[in-house]
Chain A
């Protein structure tokens, strides 16, 4: 009887995890895509040096960080996947959302401080929970540049995203 209750609880958690997780993920992706278009004018690159080394620049650190949790369903599927190996598909969407969100927050930070260009963008990640549900933190940071004599995008960088 107790076993049956435990099993029922487990199945309920799995179903709740699946539906809640799917809704949360769909909404998050929609929000990410919308904001990526909104922040299309803030450019972020992994290059180490400014493309325009002639114009004097003001430079400062900008960052974006996000903490995101798995759901019961994702963790369960990943637990089974650990037995056989292979792509942890349920965590791939989790990580992708976290990275794109962190980058968006970095761009938000840059725009807030008047910069439209961020170079040397790097990502760091931390696992903050190893319990039954994995949670991760993704941290994006980079160097924002503002030309001293701001004439817009003086060095020819431009966005290919629809504004």
Chain B
């Protein structure tokens, strides 16, 4: 036997391929899969959640603390009662789901926002109320939030959030504590946010028809978005959960154009007499 050592083989056990090419393929593939999965699952959850009878949502909401609260003082309770009365009037025009009892909360906070959440609840912040000049503009916000409730957008958002959360937690468990999980999570969340705009348009349209039915014109909607157009940017994005009124909305200018368009299509007047704000809410401005 003749024994000899030869130089180790090069390029057989380890490849010379540029690892950046592999990275590019893997990133594109995994992001594509995650985005597709998030889109499919969130669309499915968004489709299923509003079809689950409302009483299950009410049961779930009953296990959580109520959102429909107000500051424990006379002006606070008065504002809440006035908001509730307006909500009841508009809800009658919106054909709300069977069994849904709309309850409105009020927060003495400078945040310029309002949001709708599960269990037929909507919350208004003082910061928003003091910006409004008349009841018509307030009614536009109210009808918009009620439309979110009517279409069960809050439960759709919850269902979607839970479903996507499950996917992303499975993905991150697969990857361990790898940083890859973080990146994939970011991509998933970006997909999630971009969905809400269609819901906002649907809510705007339902709100406009309620406004038209209640006041005979949709001038309040234009007043409202003109107020928003004057807001400095930092006041437009408060950190409030659930379906927010401002954060995920189409651009204000687009919305004013959409209102005029809707009014033209539906033969609604875009101007008419405005009603004054209820006294308790009007008193907030002083």
Contact = CB atoms under 8 A, between A and B. Distances in A.
Interface of A: 3, 6-7, 10, 13, 18, 36, 40, 43-45, 47, 51, 72-77, 79-84, 87, 89-90, 92-93, 95-96, 100, 131-132, 155-161
B31 to A, nearest CB: 10
A83 B178 CA distance: 12
A36 B8 CA distance: 9
Interface string B1-42: 111111110000111010110110011011001000000000
Contacts of A157: 2-4
A77 B186 contact: no
Contacts of B33: 83
B179 interface: yes
A139 to B, nearest CB: 18
Given A7-B182, A96-B14, 19 more contacts: A3-B186, A10-B182, A13-B179, A43-B4, A45-B5, A73-B23, A75-B178, A76-B23, A79-B180, A81-B22, A92-B14, A95-B14, A131-B177, A132-B177, A156-B1, A157-B3, A159-B4, A159-B5, A160-B4
B176 interface: yes
B8 A6 contact: no
Contact of B23 (A77, A100, A160): A77
Q: Which 4 A-B pairs have the closest CB atoms?
A: A157-B3, A80-B26, A79-B178, A93-B14
B183 interface: yes
A159 B177 CA distance: 47
A89 B22 contact: yes
30 contacts: A10-B179, A18-B20, A36-B7, A47-B3, A76-B23, A76-B179, A77-B22, A79-B179, A79-B180, A80-B29, A80-B180, A81-B22, A81-B26, A83-B30, A83-B33, A84-B29, A84-B30, A87-B15, A89-B14, A89-B22, A92-B14, A95-B14, A132-B177, A157-B4, A158-B2, A158-B4, A160-B4, A160-B5, A160-B7, A161-B5
B175 interface: yes
B72 interface: no
Interface size class on chain B is 20 to 34
For the residues of A in contact with B, the DSSP-based class is helix
A19 to B, nearest CB: 11
B174 interface: yes
B14 A7 contact: no
Contacts of A158: 2-4
A9 B174 CA distance: 22
